[in-house]
Structure 1
Amino acid sequence: MSAETPSDAPDYRDTVFLPKTDFPMRAGLPQREPEWLDRWERIGIYDRLRERAEGRSPFILHDGPPYANGHLHIGHALNKTIKDIIVRSHQMMGRDARYVPGWDCHGLPIEWKIEEKYRNEGKDKDAVDVVEFRQECRRFADHWVNVQRDEFKRLGITGKWEDPYLTMDYHAEAVIAAEFMKLLMNGSLYQGSKPVMWSPVEKTALAEAEVEYHDHTSHTIWVRFEVVSEQGIFAKKKPVNVVIWTTTPWTIPQNRAVAFNPDIAYGLYEVGQVAENATARTGELLVLADALADSVKTSGKIEDWTRVADVAAADLDGLVLAHPLRGVEGAEGEWDYDVPMLPGDHVTDDAGTGFVHTAPSHGDDDYQLGLKYKLPMTYNVEPDGSYRADLPLFGGEAIVASDGKDGPANVSVIKQLAWAGRLLAKGKIKHSYPHSWRSKAPLIYRNTAQWFAAIDKPLEDGMGDHGDTIRARALSSIDKLVKWWPQTGRNRIHSMVEGRPDWVLSRQRAWGVPLTCFVRKGGKPTDPDFLLRDQRVNDRIIEAFEADGADVWYRDDFKTRVLDGLVDPDAYDQVMDVLDVWFDSGSTHAFVLRDRQDGVADGIADVYMEGTDQHRGWFQSSLLQASATKGRAPYRNVVTHGFTLDEKGMKMSKSLGNTVVPAEVIKQYGADILRLWVAQADYTADQRIGKEILKGTADSYRRLRNTLRFMLGALADFDEGEKLAPGEMPELEQWVLHRLAQLDHGVRTGYDRFDFQGVFQMLFQFCTVDLSAFYFDIRKDALYCDAPDSTRRRAVRTVLDILYHRLVTWLAPILPFTMEDVWLSRFPSEDDSVHLRDFPTTLADWLNEPLAAKWDHVRRARRVVTAALEVKRSDKTIGASLEAAPVVHVEDGDMLAALKSVNFADMCIVSDLSLTGDPVPNDAFRMAEAPGIGVVFELADGQKCQRCWKILPDVGTHEHPGVCARCNEVLSHG
């Protein structure tokens, strides 16, 4: 019979219960998100959450402070969004999740900006009063705190924005000083003279975390050190030279030894023919590592030579060499000292000559060898990276110029070595070299008097539960007290802490918390009373800082003010260095977690979360600082994210034009799209972002939004009286509840494990595959065409209500703006918010594995049927699936029984369907992934119902013309 629509068919459109919602398909996020921000501020949502959460277990993610000196970049957006998802999700899982944002305000970058301003104004920074200068720095930091606060809030980050923590607040400065003075009192603080990473441009020591590595082209030289003592194989030999290789020619004037490795094979080589322009000389004897001899031969333009003898470790140990600048005209005897040959495990035969020139003042390995053998330190290099003015030959010459470029020192040293006949060869090498992460200028190792925290000295503090030294406590915390997400973070920080040197605490700058200590005039650092250790003095300093901030340290009368009546002020000098800013941020646990009302009694955070570079930065400085002052790590979990890259996986750079600016993304797409980009990616690895990636993110968002919009429309006018208990529902609805119980466990576990990618993918797949492509697709007919009081339609709407409450709250931590919109579209209120809700409790007895197994059969068979119908739709045999009445062959008995127990025609959205256990015919449609199932296409028999569009034999035989029995029943009782 024909399924065509009769021309006189009644119009039943008004009798169909189509979705109704004002929730727009187009989000308009850039325009609408500021409305939600204003609303949240108006209703005081953060404080209301604290009130609602009273009595709950606290959960604190402690904010690693960003630096207050510029607009946000995409890394900031990634970082703060991850933090926000963590905080929001734990709040909605029943905790009191407090978040206090903070800023790092002291330090060189800000000081550098003010100096730059002074230079532009023609001012001399050193002529400006230090307190006035510090106040300029404070104003600069305060400006950028306000700018960044607004930019962070625009991302939808929830927190105590009106009362953040700032390391420059008076209380913070007082606590930082107090924490430093704990090192003074527990014996870990000492002044030492040793080489540290030094920035000649910034004229200060730098910590490891302030150093980054870039390619740099360095001079390389091969230098002869003449053997002056006769021992072993060298007895009665004509002049012999030990050859060293270095990439820092400027350190040769500071040489005090040459190191060898007893486990390396060395040989004595006599030079034969040499190239015309070679500096090597025919007949000279050179000592080299055998493994590197050929490379030296090539570099020295030596055409042939003879290996005349083995050189044993006994021949080298204790050998005396001459400094290569000994006797040079104009040197005035500066280098007329002996240079000992010393064994050292750090020497390798991977590159160079197998011998290492040793300048204890300019390298850590050199320094350690110098300590072991009591080598003298040199003080030839000034803070600006130039040689001291009275150094013969090289006085005043710069190693690194003020603009960060190479100074003339390297070339001058090379020329002097050549004139002295000590230069065997020279060249250049491009290699990874340390630079300041602020000025981007090359660094040098420089011996200076600095203040250190001794990380291996037993502490006098009575907090030895996790070890007696800073290093022992830190390593114990890493392994026993902290969970690392991902676990590779543990290995990274463990190796760093295990092998790190003492912490350089001092900086030769002005903007920061001073090292609040005094030293005895004329005393030596090794004297027992060199440092003034008096808690009464400490208390006065803390009190003064609380009242007036750290600026008071620089007032002329401060020393007298705090020492008078306790000790003789004239007997002590006041230390004027400032603390490493990593000590500032490493101390935040004390003045944020411990001291604030919204902190926690034990001063330990549940989570620290930053980029992977912070294993050598904030994670480590906080770990070391807290190990020194409270005996353990200040955190229980450490979560790490990667870096942001462009779409091609390249590092972002303004010069390459591949940067992505958060404000521009928000202007085009909205903050929720940026947040969704974060949630969709595996943040534990490096993140890629760009135009095409953001387009894909926006497409995922649209698909998700359509799912939510459908639910809102289908729930229009939903009444609590419609609800059915799970036991009253059809199996399909019970299957959805089963899936929700599974998801509830997965979502909570994912959020607990900081796996937002897993949470979002789980929910997105559920929405697009389980709901939109399966459940919604099937149940649209019941929603639109069943009677309002029918059990099936009530069950669908009950499940949709359950779905709604879970999906909207589960997704709220990721998409706070959109889920607020979805919530208020259904429950409009002047002062309500989805963010005041918790995740609903999901009953465990919704889980029904036997039912799930049965419906797995249904879904697998349905996929074959829908694929078969799609073929017929493509070749225009049918226009819609309701025109079909397929015969489905199912060879598996369990599957066939499962299909027969449900209305499989409704599941496949066809008007009729036949099931048979007969073997699959050869001409049936099959799918390789579903063996034993075949579909034979048949057209549906009957006429098209003018209300539900099913093609059924009974259409036209009822009271209401042109409808099927189901629709006639609905119309008769409507």
Structure 2
Amino acid sequence: MCADTPEYKDTLTLPVTDFPMRAGLPKREPEWLARWEKIGVYDRLRETAGDREPFILHDGPPYANGHLHIGHALNKTIKDMIVRSHQMMGHDARYVPGWDCHGLPIEWKIEEQYRKKGKNKDDVDVVDFRQECRKFAEGWIDIQRDEFKRLGITGKWENPYLTMDFHAERVIAEEFMKFLMNGTLYQGSKPVMWSPVEKTALAEAEIEYHDHKSHTIWVPFSFANATGDLAEARVVIWTTTPWTIPSNKAVAYNNKIAYGLYRVDATEEESWTAAGQLYIFADALAEDALGKSRVTEFSRVRDVAASELAGLICKHPFNGADGADGFWDYDVPMIDGDHVTDDAGTGFVHTAPSHGADDYEAFVARNWIDRMTHNVGEESEFLPHVPFFAGLQVFDRKGKEGKANNAVIAKLVEAGGIIARGRVTHSYPHSWRSKAPIVFRNTPQWFASVDKEVGDGQDEMGKTIRERALNSIDQLVQWWPQTGRNRLYSMIEARPDWVLSRQRAWGVPLTCFTKKGLLPTDEGFLLRDPAVNARIAEAFEAEGADAWYADGAKERFLGNDHNADEWEQIFDVLDVWFDSGSTHSFVLRDREDGTPDGIADVYMEGTDQHRGWFHSSLLQACGTKGRAPYKNVVTHGFTLDEKGMKMSKSLGNTIVPEAVVKQYGADILRLWVAQTDYTVDQRIGPEILKGVADSYRRLRNTMRFMLGNLHEFDEAERVDVADMPELERWVLHRLAELDHVVRDGYRKFDFQGVFSAVFNFATVDLSSFYFDIRKDALYCDGADSLNRRAARTVLDILFHRLTTWLAPVLVFTMEDVWLERFPGDESSVHLVDFADTPADWLDEPLAAKWAGIRQVRRVVTAALEIQRRDKVIGASLEAAPVVHVRDKDVLATLKSVNFADVSITSQVQLTNDPLPAEAFRVPEVEGVGVVFEKASGEKCQRCWKILPDVGSHDHAGTCGRCDDALS
């Protein structure tokens, strides 16, 4: 609204603000970052916390080895919103960022540098090598810290936690030694996932699955002790890992599967089978298997009962092979196992307990651990003692297929030990670092038992680690979303013992000693001496874990109480998941800004961390403190491109946080996070970001309107709620409703719900309704007008709530808005809390009344829009619609307010007359029709309303309201 003449225009109270329409975020955001650092916002909140209840989100440490990707930005922004919102809801919300610093990825980078220089890692002093790893991590920590801070993430950035800090290394070692002392630590020999490229055992969290083309072979085993027709028969296995055949120790069947004896009647010209030969297959798979071996005709001779297979002994396919010196001349028993199926293969499973989890468990159940083989080395090469295949690799150092599979197949053909071969593409485990396939390999490793009684007296959640973990999941932790509970519970329920050891150099060593000459199962094999443990801890605190590798370390730690010559010092390092799983101790428990019980309010990470950090932290804490280290677990999904595809450099669909920040600003990236449902996989891309930027502009305009109309607002103007017009009291009712939604949403980590509610309120209830109506009073009413003073009072109330409610999301923009009203060297929106909202603002009857008024207004607005489209009128103030309302109660409601102002028309006629046929209707609003009429009278030169009284007052060309304002 604007006056036609210059002199009247100057009498209007138009918005005044320096708040720019264009945000200029990429350029201005660094200025706010510098300002926050200068005034010390984070530390000031800690210093003024008083008796506020602490709230701690414990940071799952990112890995210090590269620039941030979009997943990092999503993760840290969600964490920041959690921390900031809880701070503004009255908590002392502390956030200590951290980094995972040890482990294979960094070690691998240093090795790559060595290889480029022609150096060999094994020729470098281990402490020197570790120092290079430390330096590499330090460099990336500094880079990532700046990148995180640029996103507006608050926290104790000048004093983060690092798993390679000396105190952290001490505590990690101490936590490990708790497993040593409580009896859950043991050395075992079992198949583990092993990377031939990286030459180390891998955890499940370090594995990803890719399609891999494998050899398939069908191998017949002859019986050594069968009688009757079975004496001439052979049982056939199928495998996709021919290289494991030299380590075969049994053949498994399932007594629930139907088996048959089959005779070959005819074959193709080229076949490894011959007419008359007898084979045993699962009935469901016989035809397929015989077809693969080029059998053209066969007969099913009879059933083979599982009871006939029990007790049978097979011969290894290489039994009696020339040049093998009897290496495979051992019994291969038939064993029953539930893991055998007739879905694929032959219904029989080749069993190599050194190379398969099911195979191993079958041997453990029979107490046959002494039958394990050690035929494959750390580079997936056959060891020197294996005939025919010594030195041949399954995979080479680049992860490509070696010669082992083809050599084994060729030897089987030579020995008559194969009836068919082929290739199959299937999902196969790979190292997520080297991207190379892994092998299952029997090797001595250190384990934490999840089913042995811990015996530390902390039995409230159970006596074993598994019991404690499962009970913690159900009794102590809230899951957001609940599906996270189900996923982690099933993982813990089914998981094997925890493999703690890695055969690497950069990490915290397994600080233990073993007695020479004793077996791992012997009493006294492990040294359990609190004095030794204390000396190790003291040294690590002062010198870091490098102390373990110093000359004379063994003698130093064993002291005078133990003969160093009788003990072996272990040089494996801990799985890095044990490092990060221990952080609750040296961050939450040991820091001043932690919590004495070492339990965090929230752990928040991606869904992959159900098998990673959530998992390892749970196991580690259940082993050392008897319970989970967290009260809430919040999970986010993965970030995909706009088409729902996984991002990759090769596809060119990656979105880099730095690029988004440079183009739009960090607040746009943060707003994208707030607008998305992070609990599932999210999408991001150029078009999505454009939509986010549009939402931002609409919200910014709302804030700019409030700032402009609050110019020079004075407390003397404030109107008590009881004296306010209904429209203002309706806004306060909506604020009271929204206050509950916002607080409840933030408490439940539902940022999408919070932002959606606030955004819709700001753009629909305010900009499109309340502001639209009250512009006239704000611009044209006199300074003492109740409508104008009440509107300004409500704008002030809105300002304090909207800026603080949105501050956890739009950290830069809301600071900009706040400082526009409250400038000052020490001022910041991030130093204030959400304003308390009086409960008595809620007024349901008033809300119901105005919901009805808005329904009728919709019909009027839609009717006038048609007139505007047809160019009958240029603005709604040119109209004086006749509104027909069938319901007398609704009519009375409309007459109780200034419905012309509500409709933004100059005049309005409300009537209970029947709806004329030509009346405009909206189907969903029954009993209301609008007949368009033009407003009668002259146009006020100041407010532009068309009214009959214009021109009849002291001030020429004005209406009565404007004449009063001018007087």
* Fold match (TM-score > 0.5): yes
Which residue of structure 2 lines up, in the alignment, with residue 789 of structure 1?
784
- The residue matched to 2:519 in structure 1 has which SS? coil
Residues 10 and 534 (structure 1), Cα distance of their counterparts in 2 relative to 1, 3 Å cut: closer
CA deviation profile, 1:778-803 (whole Å, cap 9, x unmatched): 00000000001111100000000000
Structure 2 residue matching 1:304: 3-state secondary structure:
strand
Q: Are 2:15 and 1:19 aligned?
A: yes
Counterpart of 1:228 in structure 2: which amino acid?
A
Q: Would you say the 8 A contact 1:10–1:962 is kept in 2?
A: no
Q: Do residues 318 (structure 1) and 311 (structure 2) align?
A: yes
Residue 152 (structure 1) aligns with = 148
Q: Is the contact between residue 881 and residue 934 of structure 2 (CA under 8 Å) also seen in structure 1?
A: yes
Choose the corresponding residue for 1:378, options 368, 373, 377: 373
CA separation in 1, counterparts of 2:790 and 2:292? 85
- Aligned amino acid, residue 911 of structure 2: T
Q: 8 Å contact 1:10–1:946 — kept in the other structure? A: no
Out of 701, 721, 737, the residue aligned to residue 742 of structure 1 is 737
Give the one of 92, 97, 120 matched to 1:96: 92
Secondary structure of the 2:925 match is: coil
Where does residue 624 of structure 1 map in the other structure? 619
Alignment correspondent of 1:818: 813
Map of 1:270-349 to 2, 5 A cutoff? 270-349=263-342
Matching of residues 733-772 of structure 1 within 5 Å: 733-772=728-767
- Alignment match, 1:249: 242
Counterparts in 2 of 1:122-141, with a 5 A limit? 122-141=118-137
Residue in structure 2 matched with residue 845 of structure 1 by the alignment = 840
Amino acid in structure 1 at the alignment position of 2:489: H
CA distance in 2, matches of 1:722, 1:297: 94
Distance 1:237 1:334 in 2: 26
Residue 452 (structure 2) pairs with residue 461 (structure 1): no
The equivalent of 2:168 in structure 1 is 172
How far has the Cα of 1:416 moved from its partner?
1.0
Residue 676 of structure 1 pairs with residue 689 of structure 2: no
How far apart are residue 238 of structure 1 and its match? 5.9
Question: Could you say which residue in structure 2 is the equivalent of 1:84?
Answer: 80
Is the contact between residue 61 and residue 83 of structure 1 (CA under 8 Å) also seen in structure 2? yes
SS in 2 for 1:832: coil
Alignment partner of 2:180 out of 180, 184, 187: 184
Q: How does 1:389-788 map to 2 (within 5 A)?
A: 389-788=384-783
What displacement does 1:236 show? Answer: 4.3
CA distance in 2, matches of 1:5, 1:789: 20
Per the alignment, in what secondary structure is the counterpart of residue 462 of structure 1? coil
Q: Which runs of 4+ in 1 moved over 6 A?
A: none
Partner in structure 2 of residue 360 of structure 1:
353
Q: Match of 2:920, SS?
A: coil
Structure 1, 236-245 or 439-448: larger mean CA deviation: 236-245
Contact between 2:509 and 2:571, CA under 8 Å: does it hold in 1? yes
Q: Which amino acid aligns with 1:316?
A: L
State whether structure 2 residue 42 is matched by structure 1 residue 41: no
Distance 1:237 1:58 in 2: 74
Deviation at residue 274 of structure 1 after TM alignment: 1.4
Give the structure 1 partner of residue 107 of structure 2.
111
Q: Secondary structure at 2:354's aligned position in 1?
A: helix
The offset of 1:11, in angstroms, is 4.0
For 1:932, what is the secondary structure of its paired residue? strand
In the TM superposition, residue 919 of structure 1 has moved relative to its aligned partner by 2.3
1:121–1:923 Cα change, 3 Å: same
Give the conservation status (yes or no) of the 8 Å contact 1:809–1:838: yes
Amino acid paired to 1:83: K
- The CA deviation string for residues 234-286 of structure 1, in whole angstroms up to 9 with x for no partner, is x2456211111111111000000000000000111111221222222211111
Shift of 1:916: 1.3
Residue in 2 aligned with 1:209?
205
Gap regions ≥5 residues in structure 2? none
CA 1:5/1:756 → structure 2, altered by over 3 Å: closer, same or farther? closer
Within 1, Cα distance between the matches of 2:280 and 2:778?
92
Answering whether residue 260 of structure 2 is matched by residue 267 of structure 1, we say: yes
Q: What do the CA deviations read for 1:613-649 (whole angstroms, capped 9, x no partner)? A: 0000000100000000000000000000000111110
The answer on whether the counterparts of 1:225 and 1:241 sit within 8 Å (CA) in structure 2 is yes
2:869 counterpart of 1:886:
no
Counterpart residue identity of residue 114, structure 1: I
Deviates more, 1:592-601 or 1:212-221: 212-221
Tell me the equivalent position of 2:50: 54
Q: Distance in 2 between matches of 1:243 and 1:137?
A: 50
| Contact 2:220 2:236 (8 Å CA) reproduced | yes
Alignment check: 8 A CA contact 2:3 2:943 kept:
no
1:197 aligns with 2:190: no
Q: Which shifted more, 936-945 or 555-564?
A: 555-564
Q: Distance in 1 between matches of 2:508 and 2:558?
A: 19
Distance in 2 (alpha carbons) for counterparts of 1:765 and 1:422: 73
Count the aligned residue pairs. Answer: 964
Equivalent position of 1:961 in the other structure: 956
Report if aligned partners of 2:949, 2:959 keep a CA contact under 8 Å in 1.
yes
Shift in Å at residue 297 of structure 1?
2.6
Q: CA RMSD in A?
A: 1.1
Question: What corresponds to 1:913 in structure 2?
Answer: 908
What is the CA deviation profile of residues 550-587 of structure 1, one whole-angstrom value per residue up to 9, with x for unaligned ones?
A: 00000121111111222222211101100000000000
Report the TM-score when normalising by structure 2: 0.99
For residue 891 of structure 1, report the CA deviation from its aligned partner: 1.3
**Deviations for 1:815-840, whole angstroms, at most 9, x for unmatched residues?**
00000000001111111100000000
Is contact 1:11–1:946 with CA below 8 Å preserved after alignment? Answer: no
Consecutive unaligned residues in structure 1, runs of 5 or more: none
CA deviation string 1:864-901 (max 9, x = no partner): 11000001100011100000000111112332221111
- Deviation of the 1:370 alpha carbon: 1.2
1:947 to 917, 942, 952: 942
Is the contact between residue 197 and residue 207 of structure 1 (CA under 8 Å) also seen in structure 2? Answer: yes
The Cα of 1:528 is off from its aligned counterpart by 1.1
CA contact (8 A) 1:25 1:709 kept: yes
Q: Per-residue deviation at 1:466?
A: 0.8
Looking at structure 2, the residues matched to 450 and 277 of structure 1 have their Cα atoms a distance apart, in angstroms, of 47
Q: Could you tell me whether the CA contact under 8 Å between 2:262 and 2:302 is conserved in 1?
A: yes
Is the CA contact (8 Å cut-off) linking 1:645 and 1:687 kept in structure 2?
yes
Residue 692 and residue 416 in structure 1: after superposition, are their counterparts in 2 closer, same or farther (change >3 A)?
A: same
Q: Which amino acid aligns with 2:377?
A: E
1:10: how far off? 6.8
Question: Structure 1: how far apart are the matches of 2:880 and 2:93?
Answer: 56
Q: C-alpha displacement at 1:228, in angstroms? A: 2.3
Q: CA deviation at 1:5?
A: 11
SS in 1 for 2:19: coil
Q: Deviations over 1:305-334 (max 9, x none)?
A: 111100101111111111112222332221
Given the two structures, how large is their TM-score scaled by the length of structure 1? Answer: 0.98
Task: Call closer, same or farther: CA 1:10–1:823 in 2, change over 3 Å.
Answer: closer
Question: Displacement of 1:419 after TM fit?
Answer: 1.5
Alignment partners' CA distance in 2, 1:413 and 1:327:
16
* Alignment check: 8 A CA contact 2:532 2:559 kept: no
Distance 2:888 2:486 in 1: 53
Check the 8 A contact 1:10/1:961 in 2, yes or no: no
Amino acid at match of 1:263: K
The secondary structure found in structure 1 opposite 2:281 is strand
Residues 186 and 446 in structure 2, CA contact (< 8 A), matched pair in contact too? yes
